[in-house]
Amino acid sequence: NDNINEIMENPQYRDVWKNDAILAEGMQSMSDDWATIKAEVKRLNDAMTPDEVILIHNAVDMNTVLANEKAERLLAVISARRHAIFNDTKSLALGSIIAFVLLMLLASLVYYKKVVSPVAKASDAARRFVAGDRGARFRDGGGALGVLGAELNNMAEAFDRSLRLKDFECAG
């Protein structure tokens, strides 16, 4: 309050207060508020008895206990939310892993049906044909392996005709 009053009374700032009424009023209001606060603090200091000190101390202790309880409840809520997020993340990760494994199994099954199985059947047909089974043929199917099977069947037919023609020439 004294410092504000000194500034308000300082001749250097008189022109500022005259030219800016809002600033002057604000400074005066601050000075009045500080004076009121000083008077209240003095009145409280003068009025305090040992019983009042104990009551204020107990109130402070009670407020401290209540603040601690609120903090513990807040920490419990934060911890529960953190665990829920962790469990959700863990479940999501586990679900993603299971979905990935199932997708890989499905892709493997499709790969087996579309590639491995036709190649194994073609290999079996080729072995039988080489072993003398002239009726052994490759299965026609779709895609590149189907085209390959058809071409191998054409080759087997041509080879079979060639062998029949040779057998016919030898017999006749």
pLDDT tens per residue, range 15-32: 877 887 777 777 777 777
CA neighbours closer than 13 Å in the CB half-sphere of residue 116: 7
List C-alpha distances in Å: 82 to 8, 68, 75, 85, 87: 56, 21, 10, 5, 9
Per-chain mean pLDDT for the chain? 79
Whole-model pTM over 0.95: no
86-100 mean pLDDT: 97
Q: What is the pLDDT of residue 155?
A: 87
CA distance 140 to 57: 96
List C-alpha distances in Å: 52 to 44, 63, 77: 10, 16, 37
Q: How confident is the model at residue 118 (pLDDT cuts 50, 70, 90)?
A: confident
Extended strands (E) in the chain = none
Neighbours of 28 (CB within 10 A): 14
- Structure token digits, residue 29: 């209001």
Determine the residue type at 28: Q
CA distance 30 to 22: 12
Contact between residue 17 and residue 8 where contact means Cβ atoms under 8 Å apart: yes
